[in-house]
Amino acid sequence: MSQLLETNSTISLNRVHKAGDGCVALVLHAHLPYVRHNEQAERLEERWFYEAMTETYLPLLDMFDRLERDRVPYRLTMTLTPTLLAMMDDPLMQLRYERYLSRSVELAQSEITRTAAQPELQAVADMYAQHWSYLLQRFREWDRSIIPQFKRHYEAGHLELMTCALTHAFLPFLKHSALAQAQIEYGIMEHERHFGVRPDGIWLPECAYAPHLSKLLQQSGIRYFIVDQHALQQAEPMPVNDTFVPITTEDGVYAFPRDAMSSHQVWSSHEGYPGDPDYREYYRDIGFDLGWYDEDEWNYIKPHLLADGARINTGLKYYRITGSNGEKQPYCPEWARARTVDHARHFIHSRIQQLRHAKDNVTGIPIVLCPYDAELFGHWWYEGPQWIEAVFREWHEMQQQGNQTLSFVSPLDYVNAVPNVQQAEMSMSSWGRGGYAEVWLQEKNDWIYKQLHKAEENLLTVLQRHANDWGYSTIRERLANQSIRELMLAAASDWAFILDADTVPSYAIERTNHHLERCQILLHMLEHGIYNLTELEKFEADTPCFPNLHYRTLLDAMTNEATKTLNSRSNSSTSAAPSSSDHQLMLSSLFAYIRQQLPTSPSQQDANDRNSLTQNSAWNKKRILMLAWEFPPLVIGGLSRAVYDLSRYLVKRDCEIHIVTREVPGTPLYEKMDGIHVHRVPLAPSMTEIGFMDWIFQMNASFTICTDALITEGIHFDFIHAHDWLVYLAAQDLKEAYQLPLVVTIHATEHGRNHGAIHTDMQQRIHEMEYELTQKAEHVIVCSQAMKREVERIFDLPPMKVSVIPNGVECVSTISSSAHNHSPDHISLPIRSTDIDNIRVFRSTIAKPEDKIIFFIGRLVYEKGVQVLLSSLKLVQERVPNVKLVIAGAGPMASELKRLTAELGLSHCVHFTGFVNDEERDLLFDITDVSVFPSLYEPFGIVALEAMGRGVPIVVSDTGGLAEIIDHNHDGYKALCGHTESLAWHITDLLLYPDKAEQFAKQAYRKVTTLYDWDVISLSTRQVYEGVIAQ
Amino acid sequence: MVQPSINNRHYTANQSNIIHLMVQQPTVLFGYWEVSKRLKSLIERHYRSSWHELRRVARLYQYTYSESDSAPLIYYDAEVGNSESWYFRHVVPRHRYALDYGFINHNHQFVSLLRSTLVGTPRNDPDWIVEVRHESSTIHECSPSDSQHQQYGQSNYSPFQQFSTYTLYSDN
């Protein structure tokens, strides 16, 4: 094999390097959409194939044979697209074509009789009769298989063969690059099946290129492709050799530009060769000409038209183009043949001129690449194959005369011979009208893309979801393969092209819808495990093409795409550009990631199965959707930490927790934290101002879209646990959509935050959402008895519906471990810090050694009561002058509190730290003499527990959850709520009597470690869940 | 087309919140979108307004071609009514674009529902110039004052400074 490659490479080298002025590559793109119709032989569209066989493919092969026979060297490149090959390879199509050609011969023979009175026409009829009889004879000699004939010429080294995307899809318009990669790879596989080798080149359908295709082509081992000329003219950097030397993409794939001038000479219907008056006129076919005024004539031609009498081309065309005016004159084959020779000479002469001109301006060997639709030759331009023959014969003669001016090569020869060309980046382009995509995307055909893209999504989703349960069911594999086949057939660029040209739009619409519909039916079967074999067999029988198409190829492409998306995300996350990241893309990359990460195979059980399972008394592992607007590392209030701690302890109690929360810059979209599945949903940032409630809406909408996607991925939930009104919309929507039970934790109420008064519209709105949320919920959890009373009262909730489960706290270990001391009376304080020096240094930055430190931590909002603490500090100073107050936290009231501090003359002894992290908070606890929590409203008071867990003596205000935590004068002090003097007195007492303070701290620590243990709390929560499921 | 069965909620749920932007030529983009019934009812519930009464807008953001730039240079608003697709015929070659679909809230602010991926328009060749047809649309410069995203990107907090944890505090 390597020897063969080497030989080919040497031949290529000679071909290219022996060219005096440069190279010419003739490229024919032979393509027809897949127009096989199993049950209907008389489809107009199926005749496209038969006509092309008679007029193009067989004449080309015959021409190759003549050149070979006469030892005329030629070098031509062709694409035979997979759909065309599939029809050429199809026994039914072969049989039908033989019948078609036989009838054409019969018609031509009967035409000899009919035209007896018109000798000039009769001669033409005779020409057709002889030509077609000859082709029929050859077709039969080849056992109706013409692919081996192309292969023979390929193997002889005269014909270079390229592949094409499987169904000729307009690749830039496929939504997922996995589908583009699969189109390319399946095309390559078909090529290999027919010709025994993987191709070096690809014809991108419609020469449509987009930058993302470069990598895909390179990954498939493609070495070259063809683009329109302007793709190179617009490339960056601008190619130094104009369009006479190909460039490579950034992935090293050669891009050959179509030569516009030679293209014009052949394509143009007016100035081009095919418009010559001596050439055959395409538009005068007896299928259209006969039977207008004579019934006998109509009866004569009718059997050769469509069954419904619709007129069609029979191939019998008697006239030459003649002139632009006057009556058409009979066709004279000899004259036409003479013109092909003239035109061949003209073509070669023009190329020589072109190359000579180019040679002066380019470095390296110039190449003119002339690509054409193969069907132009023979079908439209009847003499086209003769012209090609004449070109090569003329070239041969020149060479024999010693004229080595130009060399006919294939692009592959050039790639082999010229290993280094300029690299440049090309934009999207095509060879269609306008140079871009307006043929395939405009008002007449734009509707197809939404349908196609939806089918893409659906296909990829279903395939991915079942990626792990393939391999044992042939039927499932067949369903998957056929669904891909149908989608790809629907995506052929031909349908959009036909809609643009308005030739047979109903057929294009029918074909698009037909394949999409079948794709959906198949995916539906796969998804639901209900297989209609009869239907599957019918679909397969209707499209017996691409037998090697296997879903694995697409799955591999999907993995490749997911990896690239993730890589591009991780790259982009390094730049501070969250706004440019696209919402949908991020969501899809999130899901791609989830697919890879989640170990659990998706549940195949439907809702009924799951319900019956829940009837079992035993607690099967439950999957819980937690909706929380904040989650670590995003910590704003106590909710984030509480949800995190609860979740990780629930994980230990046979719960599978999925948190849906919002994205935090710099953190992964999905991660597993302590066994918790955390899905962080990106929110599309607004470029212009929106209202707060708009933002809430957007967040909730994103949560629902994310959850839908999770569920679509097969992650079915047993119930929802929502935290606070901020996720009300999503909770309510998902509950209704999936009929899931809802548990709600109310961490605080708007009513409470505003001291029982709802003033503004916003407050009213929040209050209403809280009300609705608790009404929709099967069960409501609150953190204190005070909150229970509050929610029962303001939300009209029956006591049975509300449970009190306190928040927990994690404590540091004690100084003397329990192994050393078992006495229940002995209470130890926790280790506040082992690094005493570090503490001393830190303390010295805030206070003098003799100073006493009071510490507040919390959000700087009104209900936290910091303003009360500041006022009482004045009173404390009266008895404890050397006191410092440290205020840690951030919030909307920060500047107001600072102003108040200054007004009270306390600036010298009050220190605002701003927001502190957990580590800084613990350091502050460690230097604190008394922690104070002077809240006016406090549903729970987690920071008080944290202080207690750190061994810090505390004073709280006698309100809400705080009041329930502290036993007054036993493990702390409760001051009257909002009462400056009461607060000052209790703080002063603890500062003046450190022994008492230490005793309180020890008692408080014991309470925290027994009552507010997360293990206990998670058990209580699971009991609530069990109760809800039992309902 | 085959309709998914009624009880196949998951199937329908994922089908219809979509937006996609496509390049037709250097100066013309085509976008299409679809909003699910559920999302529409979410909007109706939250905004207490029928979907059809809301002014629906497709907003096209223009970025420079270079990927390192994050903020859009400009955006175009097209009032699209009931249409689920739109041609933007005034775009600039060799730029990047993203499309939002959303609606105007009661305070005349644009609320985005869906955002497309970024697409790049090709460079234009004078030989291939296509006649530019202007659509009825409004054009806005993106100024720092009406752009909140930078602030959002730098903070873990919500884009509302006065918002703290559970409620929106007044400025006073």
**Which tokens in the block code for residue A699?**
């967040």
**Which tokens in the block code for residue A362?**
């380019």
Indicate yes or no: CB of B46 within 8 angstroms of CB of A429.
no
Q: Select from A748, A750, A699, A754 the least CA-distant residue to A728.
A: A699
Cβ atoms within 10 A of the Cβ of A502, count? 9
Residues A340 and A381: their CA atoms lie apart, in Å, by: 11
Which residue in B29, B112, B131 has the most chain A C-beta atoms within 10 A of its own C-beta, making it the best mutation to test that interface?
B112
Which residues face A201 on adjacent strands? A224
Q: Number of helices (H) and strands (E), helices first, in chain A?
A: 39, 23
Residues A249 and A792: their CA atoms lie apart, in Å, by: 69
Could you give the strand order of the β-sheet that contains A802-804, starting from the edge strand earlier in sequence?
Answer: A670-673, A676-681, A655-662, A622-627, A719-723, A742-745, A779-782, A802-804
Cβ atoms within 10 A of the Cβ of A714, count? 18
- Mean pLDDT on A7-35: 86
Task: Tell me the three state secondary structure of residue A871.
Answer: helix
Whether B13 shows a pLDDT value over 50: the answer reads no
Q: Is A245 exposed, middle or buried (0-12, 13-18, 19+ CB in 10 A)?
A: buried
Burial per residue of A737-757, b for 16 or more beta-carbon CB atoms within 10 angstroms, e otherwise? bbebbbbbbbbbbbbbbbeee
Residue of A nearest to B46 (CA): A697
Q: How confident is the model at residue B132 (pLDDT cuts 50, 70, 90)?
A: very low
Whether A806 shows a pLDDT value over 70: the answer reads yes
Q: With an 8 Å Cβ cutoff, is B50 touching chain A?
A: no
In eight-state DSSP terms, residue A285 is: B
Residue A720 backbone zone (phi > 0: left; psi -120 to 50: alpha; other: beta): beta
Which residues face A373 on adjacent strands? A29
Task: Tell me the three state secondary structure of residue B112.
Answer: strand
Q: How far is CA A707 from CA A611, A700, A704, B9, in A?
A: 20, 10, 5, 13
Q: Are A434 and B130 in contact (CB under 8 A)?
A: yes
How far is it between the farthest Cα atoms of chain A? 134
Q: What is the CA radius of gyration of chain B?
A: 19
Tens digit of pLDDT for each residue in A402-438? 888 899 999 999 999 999 999 999 999 999 999 999 9
Pick the more confident residue, A940 or A345. Answer: A345
- pLDDT given at position A606: 37
Owner of token pair 């893409």: A456
Report the amino acid identity of residue A160.
E
Which residues face A767 on adjacent strands? none
**Which tokens in the block code for residue B77?**
């608003």
Please provide the average confidence, as pLDDT, over all residues in chain A.
Answer: 88
Which residue in B5, B25, B131 has the most chain A C-beta atoms within 10 A of its own C-beta, making it the best mutation to test that interface?
B25
Indicate yes or no: CB of B13 within 8 angstroms of CB of A582.
no
Owner of token pair 């490229």: A27
Whether B155 shows a pLDDT value over 50: the answer reads no
Residues B152 and B148: their CA atoms lie apart, in Å, by: 6
Lowest mean pLDDT among A188-202, A812-826, A878-892, B38-52: A812-826
Q: Is B35 exposed, middle or buried (0-12, 13-18, 19+ CB in 10 A)?
A: buried
Strands B167-168, B163-164: pairing is antiparallel
In eight-state DSSP terms, residue A381 is: B
Residues A782 and A794: their CA atoms lie apart, in Å, by: 14
Indicate yes or no: CB of B24 within 8 angstroms of CB of A441.
yes
Whether B12 shows a pLDDT value over 50: the answer reads no
Q: State CA A664 to chain mean position distance.
A: 22
Report the amino acid identity of residue A555.
L
Number of inter-chain CB pairs under 8 A, A vs B? 255
CA distance A577 to chain B (A): 5
**Which tokens in the block code for residue A802?**
């509300």
User: CB neighbours of A607 closer than 8 A, spacing ≥ 6?
Assistant: A739, B7
Chain A neighbors of B105, CB-CB under 8 A: 690-691, 694
Which residue in A230, A527, A694 has the most chain B C-beta atoms within 10 A of its own C-beta, making it the best mutation to test that interface?
A694
Residues A357 and A375: their CA atoms lie apart, in Å, by: 31
Chain B neighbors of A691, CB-CB under 8 A: 105, 107, 109
- pLDDT given at position A652: 92
Residues A508 and A498: their CA atoms lie apart, in Å, by: 6
Q: How confident is the model at residue A135 (pLDDT cuts 50, 70, 90)?
A: very high
**Which tokens in the block code for residue A925?**
């606890």
Task: Tell me the three state secondary structure of residue A52.
Answer: helix
Burial per residue of A442-454, b for 16 or more beta-carbon CB atoms within 10 angstroms, e otherwise? beebbebbbbbbb
Which residue in A442, A688, A747, A897 has the most chain B C-beta atoms within 10 A of its own C-beta, making it the best mutation to test that interface?
A688
- pLDDT given at position A19: 76
Residues A802 and A93: their CA atoms lie apart, in Å, by: 73
Lowest mean pLDDT among A942-951, B60-69, B75-84: B60-69
- pLDDT given at position B128: 35
Which residues face B85 on adjacent strands? B32
Indicate yes or no: CB of B169 within 8 angstroms of CB of A893.
yes
How far is it between the farthest Cα atoms of chain B? 61
- pLDDT given at position A831: 61
Owner of token pair 């030892």: A71
Q: With an 8 Å Cβ cutoff, is B110 touching chain A?
A: yes
Indicate yes or no: CB of A516 within 8 angstroms of CB of B1.
yes
Q: State CA A819 to chain mean position distance.
A: 58
Q: Are A2 and A9 in contact (CB under 8 A)?
A: no
- pLDDT given at position B161: 42
| This prediction's pTM | 0.82
Indicate yes or no: CB of B124 within 8 angstroms of CB of A577.
no
Residue of A nearest to B19 (CA): A584
- pLDDT given at position B159: 41
Chain B neighbors of A434, CB-CB under 8 A: 25, 128, 130
Angle at A354 between CA A353 and CA A355, to 5 degrees: 95
CA distance B103 to chain A (A): 11
Q: Select from A186, A246, A544 the least CA-distant residue to A409.
A: A246
Tens digit of pLDDT for each residue in A83-107? 999 999 999 999 999 999 999 999 9
Q: Are A446 and A452 in contact (CB under 8 A)?
A: no
- pLDDT given at position A844: 86
Q: With an 8 Å Cβ cutoff, is B31 touching chain A?
A: no
**Which tokens in the block code for residue A983?**
């607060």
Residues A264 and A115: their CA atoms lie apart, in Å, by: 37
Chain A neighbors of B68, CB-CB under 8 A: 575, 577
CA distance A702 to chain B (A): 9
Q: How confident is the model at residue A588 (pLDDT cuts 50, 70, 90)?
A: low
Strands B138-141, A22-30: pairing is unpaired
Q: Are A491 and A556 in contact (CB under 8 A)?
A: no
CA distance A830 to chain B (A): 31
Q: Are A715 and A658 in contact (CB under 8 A)?
A: yes
Indicate yes or no: CB of B127 within 8 angstroms of CB of A583.
no
CA distance B73 to chain A (A): 11
Whether B80 shows a pLDDT value over 80: the answer reads yes
- Mean pLDDT on A845-850: 88
Whether B138 shows a pLDDT value over 70: the answer reads no
- Mean pLDDT on A276-283: 93
Q: Are A33 and A492 in contact (CB under 8 A)?
A: yes
- Mean pLDDT on A67-95: 97
Chain A neighbors of B13, CB-CB under 8 A: 708, 711-712, 737
Q: Are A816 and A848 in contact (CB under 8 A)?
A: no
- pLDDT given at position A529: 87
Q: Are A214 and A180 in contact (CB under 8 A)?
A: no
CA distance A571 to chain B (A): 11
Q: Select from A992, A996, A1001 the least CA-distant residue to A876.
A: A992
Residues B100 and B19: their CA atoms lie apart, in Å, by: 8
Q: Are A634 and A665 in contact (CB under 8 A)?
A: no
DSSP string, A45-92: THHHHHHHIIIIIHHHHHHHHHHHHTT----EEEEE-HHHHHHHT-HH
Indicate yes or no: CB of A685 within 8 angstroms of CB of B148.
yes
Angle at A356 between CA A350 and CA A357, to 5 degrees: 90
- pLDDT given at position B145: 37
Length of chain A: 1031
Q: Select from A566, A787, A597 the least CA-distant residue to A676.
A: A597
Quick one: CA dihedral A857, A861, A863, A865, positive or negative?
Answer: positive
Residue of A nearest to B2 (CA): A517
- pLDDT given at position B129: 34
Beta strands in A575-730 (DSSP E): 622-627, 655-662, 670-673, 676-681, 719-723
Give the phi and the psi of residue A140 in degrees, each rounded to 5: -70, -40
- pLDDT given at position A669: 85
- pLDDT given at position A448: 96
Q: How confident is the model at residue A867 (pLDDT cuts 50, 70, 90)?
A: very high
Task: Indicate the residue of A438, A606, A692 with minimum beta-carbon distance to B163.
Answer: A692
Whether B168 shows a pLDDT value over 70: the answer reads no
Tens digit of pLDDT for each residue in A533-579? 999 999 999 999 999 999 999 999 988 877 776 565 554 433 322 23
Whether A638 shows a pLDDT value over 80: the answer reads no
Cβ atoms within 10 A of the Cβ of A137, count? 11
- Per residue, what are the HEC states of A938-961? CCCCHHHHHHHHCCCCEEEECCHH
Whether B167 shows a pLDDT value over 80: the answer reads no
Q: Are A639 and A724 in contact (CB under 8 A)?
A: yes
ipTM attached to this prediction: 0.83
Indicate yes or no: CB of B148 within 8 angstroms of CB of A449.
no
Report the amino acid identity of residue A382.
Y
Tens digit of pLDDT for each residue in A360-419? 888 889 999 999 999 989 998 999 999 999 999 999 999 999 888 899 999 999 999 999
Task: Tell me the three state secondary structure of residue A974.
Answer: strand
Report the amino acid identity of residue B80.
V
Indicate yes or no: CB of A438 within 8 angstroms of CB of B130.
yes
- Mean pLDDT on A211-238: 95
Q: How confident is the model at residue A587 (pLDDT cuts 50, 70, 90)?
A: low
